[in-house]
Amino acid sequence: MPHADEFAVPPSAAMLLDTSAARLAERFAATFSPETVRECLDDSYIVLAATARVQTHVYVLAERFAAERLSATAKAAGLAVSQEPEVLFVCVHNAGRSQMAAALLHHHAAGRVTVRSAGSAPAEAVNPAVVEALAEVGVDIAREFPKPLTDEAVRASDVVITMGCGDACPIYPGKRYLNWELDDPAGGDLAFARRLRDDVDARVRTLLKELLA
């Protein structure tokens, strides 16, 4: 897992993370030591704190992000066996296209596919127009947040779909790599987000059929 030795978690945040670390350590007890879990949690806090708009709640997001990373690491290292195909959507900011695709695939797959999303340069927050456009079709991403692309997320995935991030994704043998040419909704209005939603939804439905065939 990547980590930033030159940074440190502030003492006030470290106290808040203690409870999160205990929960994660119990959840991943069969796979990782408490020390590994805490290292991942602290690193997740640091990388999110660099971009998060609301600093007071970064520790909450850090626990969710760390859980995703630990699950991906376990899968990539062969420490956990999953029968579900795993898909990673990547765009630059993880604020629009990749969030939309991940949410729609998760919605349609109904537990049959593990879905992640990430950004090569995460934004501060998910695009409000994207949130609203998805809410119109019953998909709620109000609690989602932009996440940085990590090596373990790529290694754990069976399919990696990029959306304008070019060569930001590391290449590993045995993965299926796709590139969807989609316009960035940043700065666009709700009407644009709706058109993008419908385009992504059609692509996601086709992908799901292929994954479950």
Catalytic residue among 74, 129, 169, 208: 169
- Does 92 lie in the same domain as 51? no
Q: Where is the domain boundary, 47, 62, 81? A: 81
Q: Where is the domain boundary, 81, 100, 134? A: 81
Distance CA 113, CA 208 (A): 8
State both tokens at 158: 């069976």
- Does 202 lie in the same domain as 115? yes
pLDDT for 55: 65
- Does 123 lie in the same domain as 77? no
CB atoms within 10 A of CB 68: 20
Q: Predicted confidence band at 213 (pLDDT cuts at 50, 70, 90)?
A: confident
Which residue range is the domain that position 210 belongs to? 83-213
- Does 210 lie in the same domain as 134? yes
pLDDT of 168 strictly over 70: no
- Does 213 lie in the same domain as 129? yes
Q: Predicted confidence band at 133 (pLDDT cuts at 50, 70, 90)?
A: very high
Q: Where is the domain boundary, 81, 104, 129? A: 81
Q: Say which amino acid occupies 102.
A: A
- Does 152 lie in the same domain as 121? yes
pLDDT of 4 strictly over 50: no
- Does 167 lie in the same domain as 62? no
- Does 170 lie in the same domain as 147? yes
Q: What is the CATH number of the domain that holds 122?
A: 3.40.50.2300
Give the pLDDT confidence of 25-38 residue by residue, as tens digits: 999 999 999 999 99
Catalytic residue among 62, 70, 74, 91: 91
**Which residue has better confidence, 166 or 110?**
110
Mean pLDDT of all residues in 185-206: 96
- Does 212 lie in the same domain as 107? yes
Is 91 one of the annotated active-site residues of the chain? yes
Residue 121: φ, ψ to 5°: -145, 80
Collapsing DSSP states into helix, strand and coil, what is residue 53? coil
pLDDT of 2 strictly over 50: no
Listed in sequence order, the residues at least 6 apart from 44 whose beta carbon sits closer than 8 Å to its beta carbon are 62, 63, 65, 66, 69
Catalytic residue among 165, 193, 200, 207: 165
3-state secondary structure 160-174: EEECCCCCCCCCCCC
> Per-residue b/e over 93-116, b at no fewer than 16 CB within 10 Å?
bbbbbbbbbbbbbbbbbeeebbbb
Is 40 one of the annotated active-site residues of the chain? no
pTM over 0.85: yes
Listed in sequence order, the residues at least 6 apart from 28 whose beta carbon sits closer than 8 Å to its beta carbon are 37, 70, 74
- Does 141 lie in the same domain as 47? no
Residue 123: φ, ψ to 5°: -80, 180
Q: Please report, rounded to a whole number, the percentage of residues in the chain having pLDDT higher than 70.
A: 92
- Does 77 lie in the same domain as 61? yes
Mean pLDDT of all residues in 1-20: 74
Give the pLDDT confidence of 24-77 residue by residue, as tens digits: 999 999 999 999 999 999 999 999 988 766 566 899 999 999 999 999 999 998
Mean pLDDT of all residues in 163-187: 83
- Does 75 lie in the same domain as 90? no
Is 165 one of the annotated active-site residues of the chain? yes
Count how many domains the chain has: 2
